[in-house]
A and B are shown apart, each in its own frame.
Chain A
Amino acid sequence: MLTKKILLSAVSALSLTLVATASFALTPDVQKGLDISIEAKKRDIGWQDNTADMLMLLRNKQGQESIREIKMKTLEVQNDGDKSLTIFNKPRDVKGTAFLSFSHPVEADEQWLFLPALKRVKRISSRNKSGPFMGSEFAFEDLSSFEVEKYTYKFLAEEQLNGLTTFKVEQYPVDENSGYTRRIVWLDTSEYRVQKVDFYDRKDTLLKTLTFSDYKQYLAKYWRADKQEMINHQNGKSTELKWSNYNFKTGLSESDFNRNSLKRAR
């Protein structure tokens, strides 16, 4: 199953790359970029499910802060994108609001929103990938799970970053609704953990930089960063993400990700 998934990813990424580069075969840089991404994904498969608490600190240019408190439940789905349930606790006016997403590597995600005041479940359009998440500097697409098929790749260089040897890989979003022309990603060569991402907007100018820190290993295999800091170079705002209470293999199943569970999510 696992190898099949990786193979599928490789094949679809390969075919996309072929289309992108027209008649040329994969150049060594493209091949290496793809290989690194497949390896990174491979090292993060098999965790089954997880739950975690997320604290978002939004800062504007003047240093004013605003807090978002969010709980996430995620179910790994074989041969497809993950299923996730996002539950909002702060700001208080959106407490009880919950967001259910069935993500897919290439086709449109399926998304529902539960609005507690009206007790209404609303199916929403998943087109809005580039829009800000909860008024933060994170776009919806920045928070979705990494799938090899979502990008085409190019290896740029090996670089030293904060004392780590890293692969510097350029990623080109396949989805035309992405807010980016490209992302440059630094992954450390020993564990394939993302250390830093530069985001380039639709005009191909540097928009944001995301840095990951305080990585912790779970189940002796899966690495998660406790801290993520997104800085927007164009508007001077920033958002800090702090993760806590990471739990893996908690026994979540498909039945925790439907309309009923969305309505009573806490």
Chain B
Amino acid sequence: MKLSLHTGLSSKLNEQLTRTLTVLAVCTSTLLIKPLFANEVEFEASGYIAVEQRYFFKEALYPEQLNHKQSSLSIEPELYWQWNDGSDSIIFTPFYRVDSQDENRTHGDIRELAYIHASDDWELRVGIRKEFWGVTEFQHLVDVINQTDGVEDFDGEDKLGQQMVNLSLVNDWGIVDVFLLPGFRERTYAGEEGRLRGPLVVDKNNVSYESSAGQQHLDFALRWSHSMGDYDFGAYWFHGTNREAYLTPVVQNPMSSLESYSLQQYYAQMDQLGLDIQATLGDWLWKFESIYRSTSLEDFWATQAGFEYSFIGVFDSNLDLGLLMEHSWDSRGEVEFGEQGSLLQNDLFLGARLAFNDMQSSELLMGIGSDLDHNAFSFIVEASRRFGDNFIASFDVRLLQSNNENDLLYALSNDDHAQLSLAWYY
């Protein structure tokens, strides 16, 4: 096992930590000193440690990549303090993963380090946090605040902590959230040794920004969300650094006689409008998400829409079966491989979720994605079950297939894999 600690990442982590601690310290000194001593502080520690084993069925497509096996260990403790009956709290959730093969996947992050003050009709949240928006399952189109922790998993659901000041105002007509986001997080990508990447490696040291402020650009977001009877609505405007980089192939080492290329990251500024709606009508959940994004390089629309239907107690048992169908659309249409655009320009997803409702919370999820413009498929199975009171075992299989050389899935077509993980929660 090759276990390498990455000094670059740890120094970045320190930088992030210092900045947040400063903000926290200012807030604490102005707002809290008195109540802190006037009241009892409650403390809680929890978290998990997980081991994960991946097995890729086929040999690697690119020479530096790992061949079959990839093991890793991750840890995510959560420390929580609250006082004033929970009106004031601090949460600290560091994360670290050690990977046997991909040095980019050996990385750490502060998922959360934030102070929250809750009043009757407003809430202030300051520090590093995670904020999720959206209603659909197969793509999280409107979710924009946090950067994707791309090395973590294939589904893009893992996010990096984002520094923020968030004021949340509760009104009869909905909740209004104002976000000031100082400091941008660069996306993490698989390294040379990693699988689940295209032929060129994304260079984490070759990053440029449209804004002269670079990574220090102050992003801004304003969101309204509300529930009216069977309907839940959310709408927002985001102004700031695009979380998705434009990737351009560049010669990696001009001095070398061997011409090798890597991908340069360019983060543009963007304005984005987002809308998410869910209608909860009996056994039906109807879901719709849409964004309009405008950057100096392009303007486009995209939507993700579909439904989930639940059968309660199928086969005269305690099992619940949920059937899901979603469609992805992007106004940029089909894109050439290596060009900027969305893979999900006209894709259909079908899924089935089986909840056993047993003591072990056993669950099975299956999904098929298909590109309707050309021949490309993805297939996933996720199964999980609790063992004892503290262990969760999960088993995932992902199969990717494409006949079209222009599709990213074609570049990943040797990356079919199974993944087994065991997590201990405390």
Pair A255/B283 contact, Cβ less than 8 Å: no
Q: Is A130 an interface residue (CB 8 A)?
A: yes
Pair B227/A260 contact, Cβ less than 8 Å: no
Pair A128/B312 contact, Cβ less than 8 Å: yes
Pair A95/B46 contact, Cβ less than 8 Å: yes
Among residues 219 to 266 in chain A, which have CB atoms less than 8 Å away from a CB atom of chain B? 253, 255, 258-261, 264, 266
Chain A residues with Cβ below 8 Å from B298 are none
Pair A93/B386 contact, Cβ less than 8 Å: yes
Question: Nearest chain B CB to A66's CB is how many angstroms away?
Answer: 5
Please classify how large the interface on chain A is, using the bins under 10, 10 to 19, 20 to 34, 35 or more: 35 or more
Cα A253 to Cα B357 in complex, Å, equals 33
Pair A67/B282 contact, Cβ less than 8 Å: no
Which single member of B120, B134, B361 contacts A255 (CB below 8 Å)?
Answer: B120
Cα A66 to Cα B175 in complex, Å, equals 38
Pair B312/A130 contact, Cβ less than 8 Å: yes
Cα A124 to Cα B389 in complex, Å, equals 26
- With A92-B389, A125-B285, A125-B310 known as contacts, the answer to whether A260 contacts B118 (CB < 8 A) is yes
Nearest-CB residue, chain A, relative to B313: A130
Residue from the set A108, A122, A125, A128 with the largest chain B CB neighbour count within 10 Å: A125
Pair B82/A266 contact, Cβ less than 8 Å: yes
Among residues 50 to 68 in chain A, which have CB atoms less than 8 Å away from a CB atom of chain B? 58, 60, 66-67
Pair A91/B386 contact, Cβ less than 8 Å: yes
Question: Nearest chain B CB to A52's CB is how many angstroms away?
Answer: 16
Pair A127/B310 contact, Cβ less than 8 Å: yes
Q: Is A39 an interface residue (CB 8 A)?
A: no
Number of interface residues, chain B, beta carbon within 8 A:
49
Chain B residues with Cβ below 8 Å from A158 are none
- With A125-B283, A135-B359 known as contacts, the answer to whether A266 contacts B86 (CB < 8 A) is yes
- With A260-B168, A266-B86 known as contacts, the answer to whether A124 contacts B120 (CB < 8 A) is no
Question: Nearest chain A CB to B163's CB is how many angstroms away?
Answer: 16
Pair A135/B357 contact, Cβ less than 8 Å: yes
Which single member of A123, A125, A128, A260 contacts B123 (CB below 8 Å)?
Answer: A260
Question: Nearest chain B CB to A247's CB is how many angstroms away?
Answer: 12
Nearest-CB residue, chain A, relative to B356: A135
Which single member of A67, A94, A264 contacts B116 (CB below 8 Å)?
Answer: A264
Chain B residues with Cβ below 8 Å from A60 are 359
Question: Nearest chain B CB to A210's CB is how many angstroms away?
Answer: 18
Chain B residues with Cβ below 8 Å from A66 are 359, 389
Pair B282/A108 contact, Cβ less than 8 Å: yes
Chain A residues with Cβ below 8 Å from B123 are 260, 264
Pair A119/B318 contact, Cβ less than 8 Å: no
Q: Is A173 an interface residue (CB 8 A)?
A: no
- With A119-B132, A260-B168 known as contacts, the answer to whether A128 contacts B86 (CB < 8 A) is no
Chain A residues with Cβ below 8 Å from B46 are 92, 95-96
Chain B residues with Cβ below 8 Å from A124 are 280, 285
Pair A131/B282 contact, Cβ less than 8 Å: no
Q: Is B358 an interface residue (CB 8 A)?
A: yes
Q: Is A90 an interface residue (CB 8 A)?
A: yes
Can you list 16 A-B pairs with a CB-CB distance of less than 8 A? A58-B359, A91-B425, A95-B425, A119-B132, A120-B134, A123-B285, A124-B280, A127-B283, A127-B310, A131-B313, A131-B318, A131-B320, A255-B121, A255-B170, A260-B175, A264-B116
Beyond A123-B135, A124-B285, A260-B168, 16 additional contacts (C-beta under 8 Å) are: A60-B359, A67-B389, A92-B389, A93-B392, A118-B157, A119-B131, A121-B132, A125-B283, A131-B312, A131-B313, A132-B357, A135-B361, A177-B312, A255-B120, A259-B175, A266-B44
